[in-house]
Amino acid sequence: MARRMKYHPHGSVLFASFSIEEGLVLLSNPLCESIIKSCLARAQTLHPVKICHLIVEANHVHIILVVQNPDDVPDFIRCFKTESAHMINRLLGRRKRTLWCEGYDSPIVLTPVRALVAIAYLYSNPAKDNLETSIDRYPGFSSWKMFRNGEHLKRWKWLHRNQFSALSRDSNNLEGYTRVAQRILAEASDTQVFCLEPNAWLEAFGFNSQDEQTQINEQLLRRIRLLENRATKKRERDKKNVLGRNRLARQVFDTTYRSARNGRRMWCLSEKRHVRTRFIQFFKRLMKEARIVRQRWLLGDVTVAYPPGLHPPSMPKLANVVGL
């Protein structure tokens, strides 16, 4: 299958999402949280991206980030997915099993209004999915507390794959997960720094003053509360309840769950149709140029550069080494 082209220019704001292939395994317990923290910090250390906001649910991750080096975006996501897959598969006693769906979605956010809407959607997701009434009560991993408390630098334990092994039958519960997490964290001696930059997306759109950033973040909070209230009213109409933080915390690994999500991947996000149209036309021209460059590479002309902002494929193999 041909790789989907992605455009990640320096300084752009992306709404990245990637999902578990099957099952509910990114749970709201200390063991899963320690894995998520270690893998996030490791991926950011090796492939620096400016992470503004993020949330992890049992089968997917949403991240708002600002691009520094375009090449770091796919490498950051690949590193997080690879490390977390090895650790979780070891806990489940599985070998050579795919954990994550192939690829990821990463539309470029073209306007500050649409960025604010995307962030509000991210934090209101637990309410929309009937997990909890508010992001304040959601026990799963997210950047919400770091954002609200102003604690943007964290030092987390660096965990290694060989620390993980298959869970015993009596450890497949919250108490067991907690014991395993305590043991693994106690064994780990190295730490890594994770940096949250919640205002980086504002700076990317030219909002550099503290007053402007404070005002927009207050708008963001109001938008989140509006969406949470809408979700509450919908549950009341449908006579449904949230799962609740206690039941979320006591969930066990479920490898049988099949997601009904079937979203369409998008190239860009904007509330203005003419802005979206202009970008799509530009991106199609860029992809055409990239295909022409690829064809020239295949013919042996590797002097022409791949369009900036796109991730080039590997150079074609033009000859084999003949042994003497």
**Positive or negative: CA dihedral 66, 71, 74, 76:** negative
3.30.70.1290, 3.40.50.2300, 1.10.760.10, 3.40.50.1240: which CATH number matches 13-271? 3.30.70.1290
Burial of 151-185, coded b for 16+ CB within 10 Å and e otherwise, reads eeebebbbbeeeebeebeeeeeebebbeebbeebb
| 318 Cβ neighbours under 8 A, 6+ residues apart | 300
Contact assessment for residue 216 and residue 113, using Cβ atoms and an 8 Å cutoff: no
> Quick one: what percent of the chain has pLDDT higher than 70?
94
Confidence of residue 313 (pLDDT cuts 50, 70, 90): confident
pLDDT at 2 over 50: no
pLDDT at 1 over 50: no
Bridging pattern class, strands 268-269 and 108-109? parallel
pLDDT at res. 205: 97
67-82 confidence digits (pLDDT tens): 999 889 999 999 999 9
pLDDT at res. 319: 60
CB atoms under 10 Å from CB of 8, counted, come to 21
213-230 confidence digits (pLDDT tens): 999 999 999 999 999 999
pLDDT at 324 over 90: no
pLDDT at 287 over 90: no
233-254 confidence digits (pLDDT tens): 999 999 999 999 999 999 999 8
pLDDT at 261 over 80: no
pLDDT at 318 over 90: no
125-162 confidence digits (pLDDT tens): 999 999 999 999 999 999 999 999 999 999 999 999 99
Please give the residue that has the higher pLDDT: either 190 or 265: 190
- Cα separation of 30 and 260, whole Å? 27
- Cα separation of 113 and 110, whole Å? 9
pLDDT at 320 over 70: no
User: Which tokens belong to 34?
Assistant: 């320690």
Every domain of the chain with CATH number 3.30.70.1290 lies at 13-271
pLDDT at res. 278: 94
CB atoms under 10 Å from CB of 257, counted, come to 12
- Cα separation of 106 and 103, whole Å? 10
DSSP code, position 172 = S
Residue 310 phi, psi (nearest 5)? -95, 155
40-68 confidence digits (pLDDT tens): 999 999 999 999 999 999 999 999 999 99
Contact assessment for residue 310 and residue 283, using Cβ atoms and an 8 Å cutoff: no
> How confident is the prediction for the chain on average, in pLDDT?
91
